[in-house]
Amino acid sequence: QKPRTMTGSEATTSRSALVTLTVPSKELAADPLLSIVASVASPYQTTVKIVKKGDLSLVLGPDGAETLTHRNAVLRALCGMGLHNALDTFGSTPLLFLGGHSARSYAGASPVSALAVAGISSWMSVASSVRDGGADLDALLGQLDGYLGSRSFVVPCPEPTLADLDLYLAIVAKVSGEALEGKVKGCANVYRWLRTARAT
């Protein structure tokens, strides 16, 4: 499902949207995670503008006082406080994109949740490095296998988060199929994690 710009009566309702996401069509087509998040965001909270030219941006609030332009910050804002945690609440979406930690991480409510949200940010930076070709994928997979030895997901949460999905999509964009199977041979924890992320 692709995000869309609303028209007619929906556009009238969207005047009260909390955020406006502007995304170039090529970037949206090339970024499955951005596409998923944009498509599950409520049209009553989010106005999505798909443009042919321009840059990714997320304008917060009706007055546009804050604008985010970095992809990872845009995704975290959409999944967290930008939409009042609507994409990180049980029952709102099939996933808890921030592991249910978003609301509890602010104002010192929960140090554990604050660390989880910081972990999501860190792992998304690792995913960016994989996408940009700056990470040694073989070394990363080996380190990830050890890290996942006592964890189900990259951030301590009961299900995959935005970080798991971002890292998974970055890895499979670089190598997939039999080539990926060969790279994770002997990395049982990474293999399990990859299967779980793919199923999500």
Q: List, run by run, the mean pLDDT of 10-residue segments along the chain (200 residues).
A: 46 60 94 89 84 92 81 86 59 58 55 78 94 91 96 88 94 92 92 92
> Taking the CB of residue 182, how many other CB atoms lie within 10 A of it?
10
Phi, psi of 90 (to 5 degrees): -55, 135
The set of residues, in sequence order, having a beta carbon less than 8 Å from that of 114 and lying 6+ positions away, is 101, 105, 108
Place of tokens 């840059």: 55
Q: What is the pLDDT of residue 95?
A: 55
Q: What is the pLDDT of residue 10?
A: 42
Number of helices followed by number of strands (H, E) in the chain: 10, 4
Q: What is the pLDDT of residue 12?
A: 37
Q: Name the pTM for this structure.
A: 0.81
- State the Cα–Cα distance between residues 171 and 165, nearest whole angstrom: 10
Q: What is the pLDDT of residue 29?
A: 94
The set of residues, in sequence order, having a beta carbon less than 8 Å from that of 145 and lying 6+ positions away, is 184, 187, 188, 189, 190
Question: What tokens does 161 get?
Answer: 């988060």
Q: What is the pLDDT of residue 81?
A: 65
The set of residues, in sequence order, having a beta carbon less than 8 Å from that of 34 and lying 6+ positions away, is 23, 27, 28, 56, 71, 74, 75
Question: What tokens does 15 get?
Answer: 């005047």
